[in-house]
Chains A and B, each alone.
Chain A
């Protein structure tokens, strides 16, 4: 077998310390008597998977979707339906159900959306997501309407791991590691995709659609595949999010949730691979602490985020990379 390419080695070396830290988090949090911090990070990792998917469209294909709540919500509701109507408790079946349902929806929505670009694409994606939101909202006898649907804590790995002690311990250990493994797989998978010939073709489309056509890239088809992959990643995140939250409501499909996905991606830096991951984790902490600090949390969060975006237009990771490059440059 040939050795791994240089870029992959570089990625593995830089990711290893972070991976070790993430593996130790539950024990560190327990040591400080704060298992909730692990659950909070778990939320961040789930949102990071959604952000990775979203950024395949924004950062790599040049398409700004204001409708990604549709795929997140679809993944979440697919799990809730499996619980309510089929009484399933297996997380693995939840994931398959979430991915299949999201794939179908994103394929259908993508088929319509990828015919357009720029603001037309963004608005169409937003409109379609709002259609899905209103369906979930109005068909309350199926979906629970504004009350949403409850989702009990699932069993993991075909019943090998279940809630044996309290729910917090289960979520902060067993479920956290479950999410962490899926997060690692998603990061690796997305990294391969963006560095594959297909990923390069997407970047070509982003840079120059006309020229991409003239080197033989079938732009619309490639955009549709990117849309599908992006939707599936986001739907997977939705399916992982429900057991953490225990409840899914139409809020997950609302356009304001799409706005959050856009914001956290831009906050981390959509021109870098790791930017959306960092953005998701940071945004999650900011939002949680803002909610806990004041009833005017939206105002506080908005002010903090506007300041961050204005002071770091290329996002947290982009700014950090620029500073690092400046420090490394000889005087």
Chain B
């Protein structure tokens, strides 16, 4: 079942065709990898779908409803969430508060002025559970700004995950962390995403990560979709290997 689809989605920045008439689909339950060289249009596509920027033309349909003109807030309400390429946290708040804020927002409680946040036991329990799933329970009381880079990456994703989205975009979840940390981080992410039955789209440059963890791969190049298929099909796709690696696939 198609969860999200874009139709002829286009975004230009001056003369640059960042996203050029892209038809992109995400199927319910899959873990899809979006790859491509720098400037291919991956992040712009995610920015368009998540509502950070408006498209020049084209449409975005989520669960059979057109969300092209909807606000970020409305898209989150229907179940589209994202993390960021550069870690985007509330640095002066604790790791616990970072996650709790998402839960308050999802439950419609963040408008409450006259009740103490710590009195909401349901939020406290859920935030503790989310932090535990991401292996951050021991860091709950630390300020987000004081965490190590790998922990910050995980917390960034935990904040998005706590919204319990139907579709989660993870923009380069392992960028900026050491090679040794990448696999444990991806293991945690995939375990949490699969146990939560969340459909996820991962933008990633590390091909080992992409081929190991994804169900399907979409390759972007110069604002268009170059290829779309299973990891095995993409691995042997001559256009992909020539474009991305500059050499034909090995026989």
Measuring CB to CB, which residues of chain A are less than 8 angstroms from any residue of chain B? 2, 5-8, 189, 192-193, 195-201, 203-204, 206-208, 210-218, 225, 229
- Counting chain A CB atoms within 10 Å of each CB, which of B81, B97, B104 scores highest? B104
**Which among A204, A216, A225 is the interface contact of B93 at CB below 8 angstroms?**
A204
Q: Looking across the interface, which residue of chain B has its beta carbon closest to that of A229?
A: B113
* Sampled A-B contacts (21; CB under 8 Å): A5-B118, A8-B116, A197-B111, A197-B115, A197-B117, A197-B123, A198-B112, A199-B113, A200-B93, A200-B97, A200-B110, A203-B97, A204-B101, A206-B92, A207-B90, A207-B91, A211-B89, A212-B90, A214-B50, A217-B101, A218-B73
Residues of chain B lying within 8 A (CB to CB) of residue A198: 110-113
- Judging by beta carbons under 8 Å apart, are B116 and A195 in contact? yes
Residues of chain B lying within 8 A (CB to CB) of residue A203: 90, 92-93, 97
A213 to chain B, nearest CB (A): 5
Beta-carbon contacts under 8 Å, B154-187 to A: 159-160, 163
- Counting chain A CB atoms within 10 Å of each CB, which of B73, B104, B105, B110 scores highest? B110
Answer whether residue B82 sits at the interface, using C-beta atoms and an 8 A cutoff. Answer: yes
Beta-carbon contacts under 8 Å, B86-105 to A: 88-93, 97, 100-102, 104-105
**Which among A189, A211, A214, A217 is the interface contact of B110 at CB below 8 angstroms?**
A217
**Which among B73, B88, B101, B114 is the interface contact of A192 at CB below 8 angstroms?**
B114
Q: Looking across the interface, which residue of chain B has its beta carbon closest to that of A62?
A: B92
Residues of chain B lying within 8 A (CB to CB) of residue A7: 116, 118
A5 to chain B, nearest CB (A): 5
B48 to chain A, nearest CB (A): 14
- Judging by beta carbons under 8 Å apart, are A211 and B90 in contact? yes
- Judging by beta carbons under 8 Å apart, are B117 and A196 in contact? yes
Residues of chain A lying within 8 A (CB to CB) of residue B102: 215-216
Whole-angstrom CA separation of A207 from B159 in the bound complex: 14
Whole-angstrom CA separation of A198 from B88 in the bound complex: 20
- Judging by beta carbons under 8 Å apart, are B91 and A201 in contact? no
- Judging by beta carbons under 8 Å apart, are A211 and B84 in contact? yes
Residues of chain B lying within 8 A (CB to CB) of residue A8: 116
> B6-27 interface mask toward A, CB cutoff 8 Å, 1 = contact, 0 = none?
0000000000000000000000
> Would you list the 4 A-B pairs with minimal beta carbon distance, nearest first?
A216-B105, A207-B90, A197-B104, A211-B88
Whole-angstrom CA separation of A189 from B116 in the bound complex: 11
Whole-angstrom CA separation of A211 from B119 in the bound complex: 24
Taking A208-B88, A211-B84 as contacts, is the C-beta distance between A201 and B104 under 8 angstroms? Answer: yes
- Judging by beta carbons under 8 Å apart, are B105 and A201 in contact? yes
Residues of chain A lying within 8 A (CB to CB) of residue B104: 197, 200-201
Residues of chain A lying within 8 A (CB to CB) of residue B90: 203-204, 207-208, 211-212
Residues of chain B lying within 8 A (CB to CB) of residue A199: 113, 117
Whole-angstrom CA separation of A188 from B71 in the bound complex: 36
Whole-angstrom CA separation of A203 from B143 in the bound complex: 13
- Counting chain B CB atoms within 10 Å of each CB, which of A192, A201, A206, A225 scores highest? A201
Q: Looking across the interface, which residue of chain B has its beta carbon closest to that of A213?
A: B72
Taking A204-B90, A214-B76, A215-B159 as contacts, is the C-beta distance between A196 and B84 under 8 angstroms? Answer: no
Answer whether residue B109 sits at the interface, using C-beta atoms and an 8 A cutoff. Answer: yes
A22 to chain B, nearest CB (A): 24
Residues of chain B lying within 8 A (CB to CB) of residue A200: 93, 97, 100-101, 104, 110, 117
B117 to chain A, nearest CB (A): 5
Whole-angstrom CA separation of A126 from B80 in the bound complex: 39
**Which among A195, A211, A212 is the interface contact of B117 at CB below 8 angstroms?**
A195
Q: Looking across the interface, which residue of chain B has its beta carbon closest to that of A204?
A: B90
Taking A208-B91, A215-B105, A215-B163 as contacts, is the C-beta distance between A193 and B114 under 8 angstroms? Answer: yes
